[in-house]
């Protein structure tokens, strides 16, 4: 970056939101990142760190000195701070805790005591609570005294004398209803509180299903411990969806696009090595038929088609399953019905493309037997793809393995091996002698 | 479904939220769907229709009579109604419009006049507006008179006498600040209004970047036309992420898991046919080397490995690109830096796995030449995968083609063709004579 461009960069960064700065930092190579990071306004440091992925965050934190880091954490909401603390150097965390007031320190400790991917880890515990037996007028006067509310407060929480969650009082009700009425008469009781140990994925589903903006979080005794607002849930929803797409290629959604070459290469090597094992298995199978291959070269020419068509068909079923499982659309209860449907679809497409491929093979090599064998192998591999496409993700789910991560490797192993074996096996049986 | 289970089904459905009913309907085969749909409480019909995917929605609408459909639309928010109207039979729409009051009919017409995937299509136009020059006390009295607010109202909108958007007045400020102060003194002016024709994807990005809960929508003259709340944006965010993962397998995210077999088979046939064309291209290339293949059978046995490893490496780069492009993390500006990095990673992994694969090939076939050629082909195909993995999605983006949909087909064509050609070509050159 030349000095002219750097002069223009500073006002540009000042005009961006922290999320936009985060995206910009992720999109530039590592070498230039530190220069740009130094130009980010101090007051945006904290929020920008929240928005970048884990890997870039660690890199940026490394480049800030203790003072700046400490300043960055000041005034951050408790739930955001809890996310950040895990990545901060221990000394900074200690100093930060020391500089906080007692109430906030206790709050932070509570949030940090829950798993980050649970309702407790997502929540903010700056709730404003009121009693059920006071009038709306009393509530209004109390709020005027407070003079401000935490960010994104759209409702107050109604709790018993012992802190038990009873209901929500939306501000919209407070400002429209008769001030003489009691809180207990008008509060919403239709939204069930979220258990503090509810997994984040389930929290996200609940928010989506019920179109929630905010929801109370309670401990096992029903005591109110915090609230979750939808802006925190949006990140969970997006991360989940990204996790699937990245996992299918053996990548991690928190990976830096411009990670150091050595680190990237090492990570990807694991995935390539896994796939290599399956590719060799397929080659072993091909090797069993060397006799047929050396005598009928058309088998070698056509065999990739059988494996590839099975792989494509299988990946369609697999993708449908992975999405259905993550949405809760598909489970063991309806797997049989789905298998029947996928088998029927595979049979139709197997026959259709079997005829087409067989026809082309006949025109190409003028051997009717070869054409028939090719068509038969295609049908077999499509049916195989449907069965494995349905069965693999279900089996993995049962074993606690993420189907998005390992599903495609196992599937391709099946479609390659069965594809090669059926085609070359039929060829050996019917064409060799 | 036996009658005993049906008796238990009705109370179960009554206890579910419309979104949960929608998911349940999507997860049961078509034959049983109509029976269950008939048991869904009337008051949940409208919202359930909103939550199912397009294909199931059309099916469910078909099975309801005119009266029930009309009843289902009653009391729905305008933005939801606008989404539904497009799928309703024309006669129902006409009757529905006739039964609405003038104000709501006009509102619906306004929302429907915008593209569904724009800010105008997402918005709700039931905004509550106030003038800047009145006191908070006046606003409070006005709200008490109204006695209720539209769902998810967390802020009022401040407009000029001519309807120009000026700022937002969060209810949180209204209830905490001094009632004598004027609206103009306390309103938030830091959130830019969204243009009514802003694409939905951009709206979603803005909400995520700024952690918005609701935002104003304005026409080109700056006049307030409605508001968007985050619950509508959440659907956009999820749909976008799902679109990528489904597209990669040639599927549509609005597809019914239990779509009729014929329809599913037809749709998937298109994808299989496209892939077949590329598979044949690869076979043609293999066919060019039949001479070498018939003489050295090890080439036929090992060639799938070269193609498959290239395909895996390429799909990693491609997935990184597809996600980066959709997040706005990657563009033409940083593509060169990324290409350099991907090439370096590919070179390292090409050499690493080339040596491994070459070693295994040597142990297997006892031919040093074969082992060296195998390693060289693997390096070549990895480099090819890096280049095409970066270039294909960029080229497609420039041509206006969705890289998630067509990217993997084109990529595999390259990695197959170059993989086979380099391995068999080197084999012909160095091993045949």
Helices B261-287 and A332-365, packing angle to 10 deg:
40
Residue B276: list chain A partners with CB under 8 A.
Answer: 305, 309, 353, 356-357
- Work out the minimum CA distance from B56 to partner chain A, whole angstroms: 13
Q: Number of C-alpha atoms within 13 angstroms, CB side, residue A407?
A: 33
**pLDDT tens profile A75-124:** 788 888 888 888 888 888 888 888 888 888 888 888 888 988 899 989 98
Residue B427 has pLDDT above 90, yes or no: yes
Residue A415 has pLDDT above 90, yes or no: yes
**Residue in chain A nearest B317 by alpha carbon:** A249
Residue A180 has pLDDT above 80, yes or no: yes
Q: With pLDDT > 70 as the criterion, what percentage of chain A qualifies?
A: 99
Average pLDDT for B200-216: 89
What are the DSSP E strand ranges found in A132-256?
155-159, 165-170, 194-195, 214-218, 224-229
User: What 3-state DSSP class applies to A390?
Assistant: helix
CA-CA distance, B57 to B301, in Å (whole number)? 50
pLDDT of residue B1: 52
Q: Is the dihedral of CA A368, A370, A375, A376 positive or negative?
A: positive
Superfamily of domain A129-230: CBS-domain (3.10.580.10)
Q: Do A237 and B234 touch (CB under 8 A)?
A: yes
Residue A252: list chain B partners with CB under 8 A.
Answer: none
- Work out the minimum CA distance from A145 to partner chain B, whole angstroms: 7
Pick from B208, B249, B345: which is nearest to A234 by CB? Answer: B208
- Work out the minimum CA distance from B100 to partner chain A, whole angstroms: 25
Pick from A303, A323, A330: which is nearest to B245 by CB? Answer: A323
Residue A344: list chain B partners with CB under 8 A.
Answer: 261, 265
Residue B303: list chain A partners with CB under 8 A.
Answer: 300, 304
Residue A1 has pLDDT above 80, yes or no: no
User: What 3-state DSSP class applies to B100?
Assistant: coil
- Number of Cβ pairs closer than 8 Å across A and B? 339
Q: Do B300 and A286 touch (CB under 8 A)?
A: yes
Mean pLDDT is highest, among A7-11, A414-418, B84-88, for A414-418
Q: Do B238 and A241 touch (CB under 8 A)?
A: yes
pLDDT of residue B119: 94
**pLDDT tens profile A317-343:** 999 999 899 888 888 889 999 999 999
pLDDT of residue A3: 65
- Work out the minimum CA distance from A313 to partner chain B, whole angstroms: 7
Name the least confident of A171-175, B45-49, B245-249: B245-249
Please check whether residue B394 is in contact with residue B321, taking contact to mean a CB–CB distance below 8 angstroms.
Answer: yes
**Residue in chain B nearest A310 by alpha carbon:** B272
Average pLDDT, whole number, for chain A? 91
Enumerate the domain spans of chain A: 3-116, 129-230, 261-431
Q: CA A323 from chain center: how many Å?
A: 12
Residue B414 — very low, low, confident or very high, per pLDDT cuts 50/70/90?
Answer: very high
Residue A2 — very low, low, confident or very high, per pLDDT cuts 50/70/90?
Answer: low
**Residue in chain B nearest A28 by alpha carbon:** B334
Q: With pLDDT > 70 as the criterion, what percentage of chain B qualifies?
A: 99
Residue B348: list chain A partners with CB under 8 A.
Answer: 261-262, 265, 269
Residue B228 has pLDDT above 80, yes or no: yes
Q: Do A293 and B302 touch (CB under 8 A)?
A: no
Residue B224 — very low, low, confident or very high, per pLDDT cuts 50/70/90?
Answer: very high
pLDDT of residue A142: 95
Average pLDDT for B200-207: 91
pLDDT of residue A116: 85
Q: What angle do CA A7, B190, A124 make, to 5 degrees?
A: 105
Residue B248: list chain A partners with CB under 8 A.
Answer: 245, 248, 319
CA-CA distance, B166 to B187, in Å (whole number)? 9
**pLDDT tens profile B314-348:** 999 999 999 898 888 888 889 999 999 999 999 99
Q: Which of B380, B325, B371, B392 is nearest to B349 (CA)?
A: B380
Please check whether residue A60 is in contact with residue A37, taking contact to mean a CB–CB distance below 8 angstroms.
Answer: yes
Residue B352: list chain A partners with CB under 8 A.
Answer: 265, 269
Architecture of domain B3-116: Alpha Horseshoe (1.25)
**Residue in chain A nearest B154 by alpha carbon:** A154
In this predicted complex, what is the ipTM? Answer: 0.85
**Residue in chain A nearest B361 by alpha carbon:** A280
Q: Do A353 and B272 touch (CB under 8 A)?
A: yes
Q: With pLDDT > 90 as the criterion, what percentage of chain B qualifies?
A: 55
**pLDDT tens profile B120-153:** 989 988 889 999 999 999 999 999 999 889 888 8
Residue A36 has pLDDT above 80, yes or no: yes
Q: Do B283 and A297 touch (CB under 8 A)?
A: no
Q: Do B265 and A345 touch (CB under 8 A)?
A: yes
pLDDT of residue A303: 93
Residue B383 — very low, low, confident or very high, per pLDDT cuts 50/70/90?
Answer: very high
CA-CA distance, A266 to B430, in Å (whole number)? 32
**Residue in chain B nearest A288 by alpha carbon:** B301
Q: Do A302 and B283 touch (CB under 8 A)?
A: yes
**pLDDT tens profile B350-380:** 999 999 999 999 999 999 999 999 999 999 9
pLDDT of residue B2: 58
pLDDT of residue B273: 93
Place of tokens 């491994």: B356
Q: Which helix (H) or strand (E) holds A129?
A: strand A129-130
- Work out the minimum CA distance from B144 to partner chain A, whole angstroms: 4
pLDDT of residue A151: 82
Q: Which helix (H) or strand (E) holds B194?
A: strand B194-195
Q: Do A258 and B208 touch (CB under 8 A)?
A: no
Residue B23 has pLDDT above 70, yes or no: yes
CATH topology of domain A261-431: Tetracycline Repressor; domain 2 (1.10.357)
CATH topology of domain B129-231: CBS-domain (3.10.580)
Contacts of A316 (CB under 8 A, 6+ apart): A389, B249, B250, B251, B268, B271
Residue B154: list chain A partners with CB under 8 A.
Answer: 152, 154, 171-172, 213
**Residue in chain A nearest B136 by alpha carbon:** A175
């Amino acid at each position: 970056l030349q000095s002219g461009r750097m002069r223009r960069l500073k006002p540009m960064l000042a005009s961006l939101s922290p999320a936009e700065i985060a995206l910009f930092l992720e999109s530039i190579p590592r070498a230039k990142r530190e220069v740009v990071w130094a130009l980010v306004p101090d007051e945006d440091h904290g929020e920008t760190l929240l928005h970048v992925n884990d890997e870039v965050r660690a890199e940026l934190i490394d480049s800030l000195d203790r003072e700046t880091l400490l300043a960055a954490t000041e005034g951050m909401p408790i739930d955001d701070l809890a996310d950040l603390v895990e990545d901060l150097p221990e000394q900074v965390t200690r100093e930060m805790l020391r500089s906080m007031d007692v109430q906030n320190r206790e709050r932070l400790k509570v949030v940090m005591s829950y798993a980050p991917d649970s309702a407790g880890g997502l929540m903010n515990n700056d709730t404003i609570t009121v009693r059920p037996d006071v009038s709306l007028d009393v509530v209004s006067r109390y709020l005027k005294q407070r003079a401000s509310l935490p960010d994104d407060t759209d409702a107050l929480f109604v709790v018993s004398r012992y802190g038990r969650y009873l209901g929500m009082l939306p501000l919209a009700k407070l400002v429209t209803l008769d001030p003489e009425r009691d809180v207990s008469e008008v509060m919403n009781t239709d939204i069930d509180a979220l258990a503090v140990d509810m997994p984040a994925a389930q929290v996200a589903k609940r928010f989506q299903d019920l179109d929630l903006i905010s929801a109370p979080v309670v401990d096992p005794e029903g005591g109110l411990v915090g609230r979750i607002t939808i802006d925190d849930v949006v990140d969970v929803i997006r991360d989940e969806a990204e996790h699937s797409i990245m996992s299918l290629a053996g990548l991690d959604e928190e990976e830096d696009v411009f990670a150091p070459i050595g680190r990237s290469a090492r990570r990807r090597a694991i995935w390539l090595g896994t796939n290599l094992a399956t590719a060799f298995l397929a080659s072993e199978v091909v090797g069993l038929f060397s006799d047929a291959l050396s005598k009928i070269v058309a088998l070698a020419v056509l065999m990739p088609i059988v494996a590839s068509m099975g792989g494509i068909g299988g990946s369609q079923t697999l993708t449908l399953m992975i999405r259905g499982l993550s949405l809760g659309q598909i489970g063991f209860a309806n797997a049989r019905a789905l298998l029947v449907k996928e088998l029927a679809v595979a049979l139709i497409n197997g026959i259709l493309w079997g005829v087409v491929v067989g026809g082309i093979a006949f025109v190409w090599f003028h051997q009717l037997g070869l054409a028939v064998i090719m068509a038969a192998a295609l049908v077999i591999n499509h049916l195989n793809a449907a069965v494995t496409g349905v069965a693999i993700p279900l089996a993995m789910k049962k074993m606690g393995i993420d189907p998005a991560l390992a599903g495609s490797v196992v599937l391709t192993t099946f479609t390659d091996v069965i594809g090669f074996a059926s085609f070359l096996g039929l060829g050996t049986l019917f064409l060799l002698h």
